[in-house]
Structure formats: C-alpha cells, structure tokens
Amino acid sequence: MAEPIYDLPTAEELHAYVDGALPAERASRVEAYLARRPDLAARVEEYRRQDARLRTTFDPARPDLLPPELDELAGKLSRNLVRHNRIRGAARYAAMALLCITAAAVGRWSADYEGGSDSTVLAQSRFAADAYRVVTAHQGQGSLLDASANPAELSDWLGDGDSKVHIPRLQLLGYRQIGGQVLPTGAGPAVQLVYNDEKKGPFSLYVARSPDCMRTTPRYTRDGDLSLMSWCRNRAVFMLIGKLDRTAMLWIADAVSQPDAQPGEAAQGESAQGESARGEAAPAAAEPETKPSVNRAVAH
Amino acid sequence: MSELVAGAPLGNDPAAAVAQHMVALRRYARSLVRNSAEADDLVQECITRAIARLRVWHEVRDLRAYLFTILNNVHLDSIAQRKRAGNVVPLDEAVKNLSSRPNQLARIEANELAEALERIPEEQRRVVLLVGIGGMKYHEIAKMLGIPIGTVMSRLSRGRETLRKMLAGEDFPKLKRADG
C-alpha cells in the first residue's frame, strides 16, 4: 500500500535511519518503505559503505599501536579518570547528606500530611517493586523499556488538564535515564522510569494516580534487598525503588517535590538551544530544509 | 540505549574505554589534517587538555563525546593559529602524506575520498566526519557545535549525498568545470 505523501521519509530521516537515530517505530516504517524502493535501499547501503570507507581511509597504519608520547598520555588519562570517578562519588554523597540535613532542619516535610490511603499506596508499592524486579531482570535484553521515553509524554497517560501529573526528569539530578514505559495496573495506568546510579545500579521512579492521597511525607520501607521511598503529591503517588540508600532516596524525593520544582521544562529544549556557539551565520537561512518536525523524531 | 553504551566505559574500565577512543580520535584527527604526524599532535594536545580539565565538579558523563569535543576545539584553535601565522599546508602535499595504505589501489581510493571530502563545504564535512568516523550522536554534535539538531541532520544529509555523488562520478565539481 502506498504511503500518504506526508509520511514518506525525508532525506534527513534516511540518514538518521543509517545511523540508528530514529525511534524504533519510525525506523520500521522507513525499513518497510525501503523494501519497496530498491533504489533508495541501495543508496542507504552506499551511505553505510561510505562511512566504513571513511574509517578505513583514515585508519593509522597500526591502529593498535600508539606512539610512545600518546601511549603515556592515554595511560595518564585512564588513571586520572579512575581517581576522578572515585572523588566525584564521594563528593556527591557528601552533597546529598548536606542537603538532607538542611531539609530536615528547615522541616520541609514536617506537618505535611494531608491524608492518604495506606492500602492504595501499599498495593501500588507491591506492584512497583515487582515491576522493578521484572525490568532489572531483563535489563541486558533491553526489550521492555523504551530508551527514549520522555517523562512529560508518559505523564499524559496519567491524566491531563487539572489532573495532569508532573513527572520530574531525574537526569537533572545527575542520573542517567535507561528507559521508561507505561504499565497497566489494576487501578489504571502507571508510569515506570528507570534510571541508573553509578554506584547502586538501576532504580526506578514509579508514578500512578492515587485520587485519595493528596500529600504525604516520604516514607521509607524495605522489601528484601530493595529500598522503597513513597510519597504523594496532588493525588498522585510517587515511588523510588532500587538499591539506593535512604539518604539518596530522600534527597531525590526532596529535590523533585518542592512546589516550584519543574525541572522537566528547564531541559526540554536542551539540544535545540543556541544557534551559534562559534559564531556561525544564520543556519536557518543557509539550510532551508531544516525541519523542526524531524528534530522531535530523533531519539536522544 | 545509546547513553547506556556510551556511558558504560567510564564506570567499568577507563583504560579500555580510553584505548578504544584513541583509535577513533586518531582517525578523526587524520581526516581533519591529512597528515599523520600533525594528526597525532592534535590528539596529544586533546588528551593533555582532557587531563587538565578533570575537576571534581566537572562530570564526564560520556567520555567519547567529551574527548571529541576537545579534539574538535583543538583543531579549530590550530586553524585559527595557522591563519594568524599565514602558514597553510597545501592540500596536495597533505594528501601525499596520508598514511601508507597497503597497496596502490587502496592508496588511490584513499586519496580520491580525501579529495572528494575536501570539496564539500567545511561545515558539512565536519558533521559527516563526526558521525562517520567519530560515531557521535546527533544531539552530541548539536551541543558541541552549538547548532540545532535539525541543522546537524541537514548538514549530514547534504554532505553525505554530495560525497556519494562525487565518488560515483556524478556531479563532480572538477569535471563540471572542465566541461564548461
């Protein structure tokens, strides 16, 4: 069946397909299109060969052998990176502890309880812990999570308008997002986002609607070897599940729960910022085929 | 998923990660300057700067992107320096200095590619090389060059396509001029 004209891949998308930069769904549509267009499929192959040729053309004569000065510098860089990671880990831990002490002193969480249903939260926490176990058990296969999941888009599943749930992006706290997904639960959809902590491994942020739970302080529990921190905000329950310790979880809960914290918005346009860091002249005029719609289609 | 792959080496084995990136950095440097000795000088300066910049508050999330960004800046600085000094290496000489390929055919092909690359606009060439040789992600290049990701994509698209046409013998600027 022929595609509607607006659905045909653009030249830029063909290259993004070559580079594996298209979201999975779009990539499979491009692939299906190429299967019917052998001329374009051949061109895509040519682009791939061209890249391979670039690499071999500029290969050093003995890629495995570094000149002595470079070898020495590379060794020094590796040693410094090991030390750097160690120091940064310790510094981050100290910063977390300090933040928690500050939060406790200010008493941000004290007298913050405005009702909550233990049974709803308990049921959700079991579900969240199970979901965490399933995802981390299959982590290597990468089949369950959408790596390019966007918390703002996933939150649409939980409600919109007045009942919109804001899901924070924990990248802004220095955690790397592994992926996310929407999960069906007995009580409506839930969002699971999985992040990675350099030391303690994967942990998930689980968010679900919880109509009778307006606002509670974070509560810490343990479930086997897992830690679980849960709290409510604006009729939604938030949970952190993983092997992070209590201090780290409280730090995250504190950072994302402040009424004015909207970290999601702050980083949305990250990649499209600043036209010219090195003073390049008006790229929009020089390159008219730049399409904002293509920007959104690229997996970050 | 890309972040997982790119970020992993830092936590696991920095020595292996650095060794792997050194190969890519040297390739990229050679594609920029076409002269092995000069290319290794650029990489040397890049690693020296990378070491000097490691500070506690400076997080290196992705070593590859970190090193390529520095190397790119080292190259831009060297161009600026050379312009100030009025010292430009002629292309033909540079092409001859390209690494010794194992046989003559490979050498001819290498020079053909190097010449074709030289004919595409610099801003497109840089993106083509960062993706093709550096294996950089589009958003990393956008951040590195301070341009929107859509601009990265259109430069890549145009650069790669022009290169393809030239290597296929279509629309080769040299031939066009000869005909006209």
Distance from C-alpha of A125 to C-alpha of A130, rounded to nearest angstrom: 8
Q: Is A47 on the interface with B (CB under 8 A)?
A: yes
At residue B4, the pLDDT reads 28
Instruction: Decide the pairing of beta strands A176-185 and A236-242.
Output: unpaired
Say whether A81 and B14 touch across the interface (CB within 8 A): yes
Rounded mean pLDDT, B170-175: 52
Which of A50-64, A93-107, A171-185, A196-210 bottoms out in mean pLDDT, i.e. has the lowest? A93-107
A70 and A44 Cβ atoms separated by less than 8 Å: no
What type of residue is B25? Answer: L
pLDDT digits (tens, 9 = 90+) for A130-140: 888 877 876 55
Q: Which of A54, A141, A169 to mutate to test the interface with B (most CBs of B within 10 A)?
A: A54
Q: What's the pLDDT band for B9 if we cut at 50, 70, 90?
A: very low
Rounded mean pLDDT, B129-141: 92
Rounded mean pLDDT, A24-31: 91
Residues whose CB is less than 8 angstroms from the CB of residue B49 and which lie 6 or more positions away in sequence, other chains included: B70, B74
Rounded mean pLDDT, A26-48: 93
Distance from CA of A45 to the nearest CA of B (A): 11
Distance from CA of B176 to the nearest CA of A (A): 23
Q: What's the pLDDT band for A285 if we cut at 50, 70, 90?
A: very low
Say whether A295 and B167 touch across the interface (CB within 8 A): no
Rounded mean pLDDT, A237-262: 78
Say whether B157 and A178 touch across the interface (CB within 8 A): no
Q: What's the pLDDT band for A258 if we cut at 50, 70, 90?
A: low
pLDDT of residue A40 exceeding 90: yes
Mean of the per-residue pLDDT values for chain A? 74
- Which of A12, A46, A77 is the closest to B47 by Cβ? A77
Distance from C-alpha of A49 to C-alpha of A42, rounded to nearest angstrom: 10
- Would you put residue A86 in left (φ > 0), alpha (ψ -120 to 50) or beta? alpha
Top-confidence residue, A167 or B109: A167
Q: What's the pLDDT band for A250 if we cut at 50, 70, 90?
A: confident
Q: Which pairs from A15-20 meet CB under 8 Å and 24+ separation?
A: A15/A47, A15/B153, A15/B156, A15/B157, A15/B160, A16/A294, A16/A297, A16/A298, A16/B138, A16/B153, A17/A44, A18/A44, A18/A47, A18/A48, A18/A51, A19/B131, A19/B138
- Which of A87, A142, A272 is the closest to B148 by Cβ? A272
At residue B6, the pLDDT reads 34
Distance from C-alpha of A114 to C-alpha of A235, rounded to nearest angstrom: 11
Top-confidence residue, A3 or B71: B71
At residue A4, the pLDDT reads 59
Distance from C-alpha of B132 to C-alpha of A58, rounded to nearest angstrom: 11
Q: What's the pLDDT band for B79 if we cut at 50, 70, 90?
A: confident
Say whether A276 and B76 touch across the interface (CB within 8 A): no
At residue A188, the pLDDT reads 79
pLDDT of residue A64 exceeding 60: yes
A24 and A53 Cβ atoms separated by less than 8 Å: no
pLDDT of residue A97 exceeding 80: no
pLDDT of residue B162 exceeding 90: yes
pLDDT digits (tens, 9 = 90+) for A112-161: 444 445 666 777 788 888 888 877 876 555 456 787 888 888 888 888 77
**Start-end of H helices in B14-121:** 14-33, 36-53, 63-85, 91-96, 104-119
Q: Chains A and B: how many Cβ contacts under 8 Å?
A: 194
Closest to B98 in 3D by CA, of B31, B163, B42: B31
At residue A252, the pLDDT reads 83
Q: What's the pLDDT band for A90 if we cut at 50, 70, 90?
A: low
Mean of the per-residue pLDDT values for chain B? 78
Q: Which residue has the tokens 């036209």?
A: A275
Q: Is A196 on the interface with B (CB under 8 A)?
A: yes
Residue A289: list chain B partners with CB under 8 A: 154, 157
What tokens does A101 get?
């002490």
The whole-model pTM stands at: 0.53
